[in-house]
């Protein structure tokens, strides 16, 4: 998904955000930040020892492997020879700079939503490469804030050298936004195969596909709780006939307007689904905190003009809402390391007043 997933939200948000106001002499091409204090705002009490891991381009949806020593992410960095999002990997032992990382996708079409498989030797991601070598065009705006549900998206598995070893989905509509359970047995993903954007699960080998949501509206960007027993995701629920008609009209054109989303949770099989937030605007890219008792997510609900987007934390019952990041443009795509000690996310901060979105990592403090 570029990049509403978590898997998050689409980079269309990133392109529309202005750069944060941070006093810095560094430019977007700087390889190493020499003053870590410029990377964090005073109110961000949960974040310590912040480091910037990428420099330049739009880099998003960075997710840990199971050992916690490597990240997989998507990037459209033109200096790396790609025209639109492709999947790359980054070892945390590597020097944080602007060097091109290991390509894990084919380099063809457009990709999104990557995740490590249980063996840490393979990567899950969605790609349009079977429907064409070139990047599919963005959705026409026509006065609306929409993004494309490319029918060519299917879900694939590649090895760490970029060789596709398996295709897990093969439907004629959008299949993407896949993540893997920490238990290593299930994958959850979003599909338009039923005519609506619903959540599905399948076994780790692609077998036993089951639809687990069935309410009209967009269900997507789901992730599992640390013990694999629950799911959290973003959802839209068109309330009026006019809203439903507009939603359906866009789906018929393989598009969706992702500007009215709330956070939902359910059991891993989709049962006991309930809404957590009722904040308005776009609330998305959710992930469970390490103990599984709270949700960290991205929102612009406090923003008058649609931005900034920041990270917020909330209890599973919707109480205790707390703002976590205080950027003036964009913070999203959070994920905790398997041991719960680190947080990785993507941000427009410290980008030399460009629109570059980079990957950051910090020690997490409750």
Kindly report, residue by residue over 43-79, the tens digit of the pLDDT: 999 999 999 999 989 999 999 999 999 999 999 999 9
Average pLDDT over residues 298-317: 94
Domains defined along the chain, listed by start = 3-364 (2.120.10.30)
pLDDT at 305: 83
pLDDT at 309: 96
pLDDT at 306: 82
Confidence band, pLDDT 50/70/90 cuts, at residue 255: very high
Average pLDDT over residues 266-295: 97
- Between residues 306 and 60, which one has the greater pLDDT? 60
Kindly report, residue by residue over 96-151, the tens digit of the pLDDT: 888 889 999 999 999 999 999 999 999 999 999 999 999 999 877 666 788 899 99
Average pLDDT, the chain: 89
pLDDT at 259: 84
As a whole number of angstroms, the distance between CA 78 and CA 176 comes to 24
pLDDT at 35: 42
As a whole number of angstroms, the distance between CA 242 and CA 251 comes to 14
Instruction: Kindly write down the DSSP assignment for every residue of 170-235, as one continuous string.
Output: --SS-EEEEEE-TTSSEEEEEE-TTSS-EEEEEETTS-S-EE---SSS-EEEEEE-TTSSEEEEEE
As a whole number of angstroms, the distance between CA 224 and CA 202 comes to 13
Average pLDDT over residues 346-353: 90
Its pTM stands at 0.90
Average pLDDT over residues 300-323: 95
């Amino acid at each position: 998904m570029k990049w509403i997933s978590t898997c998050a939200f689409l980079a269309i948000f990133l392109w529309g955000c202005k750069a944060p106001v941070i006093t810095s002499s560094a430019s977007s091409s700087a390889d190493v930040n020499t003053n870590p204090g410029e990377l964090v705002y005073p109110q961000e009490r949960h974040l310590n020892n912040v480091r910037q891991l990428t420099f330049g381009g739009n880099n998003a949806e960075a997710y840990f492997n199971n050992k916690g020593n490597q990240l997989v992410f998507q990037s459209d960095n033109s200096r790396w020879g790609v025209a639109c999002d492709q999947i790359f990997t980054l070892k945390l032992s590597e020097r944080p700079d602007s060097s091109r990382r290991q390509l894990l996708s084919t380099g063809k079409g457009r990709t999104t939503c990557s995740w490590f498989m249980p063996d840490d030797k393979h990567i899950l991601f969605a790609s349009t490469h079977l429907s064409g070598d070139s990047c599919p065009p963005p959705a026409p705006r026509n006065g609306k804030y929409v993004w494309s549900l490319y029918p060519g998206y299917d879900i694939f598995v590649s090895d760490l050298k970029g060789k596709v070893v398996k295709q897990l989905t093969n439907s004629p509509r959008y299949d993407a936004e896949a993540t893997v359970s920490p238990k290593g047995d299930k994958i959850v993903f979003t599909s338009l195969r039923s005519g609506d954007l619903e959540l599905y699960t399948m076994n780790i080998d692609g077998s036993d596909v089951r639809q687990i949501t069935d309410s009209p509206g967009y269900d997507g960007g789901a992730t599992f709780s640390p013990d694999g027993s629950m799911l959290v995701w973003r959802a839209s629920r068109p309330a009026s006939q006019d809203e439903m008609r507009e939603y359906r009209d866009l789906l018929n054109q393989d598009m969706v307007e992702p500007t009215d989303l709330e956070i939902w949770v359910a059991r891993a099989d989709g049962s006991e689904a309930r809404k957590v937030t009722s904040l308005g605007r776009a609330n998305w890219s959710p992930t469970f905190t390490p103990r599984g008792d709270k949700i960290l997510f991205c929102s612009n609900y406090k923003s008058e003009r649609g931005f900034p987007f920041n990270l917020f934390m909330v209890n599973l019952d919707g109480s205790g809402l707390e703002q976590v990041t205080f950027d003036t443009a964009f913070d999203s795509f959070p994920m905790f390391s398997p041991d719960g000690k680190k947080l990785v996310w993507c941000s427009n901060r410290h980008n030399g007043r460009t629109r570059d979105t980079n990957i950051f990592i910090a020690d997490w403090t409750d």
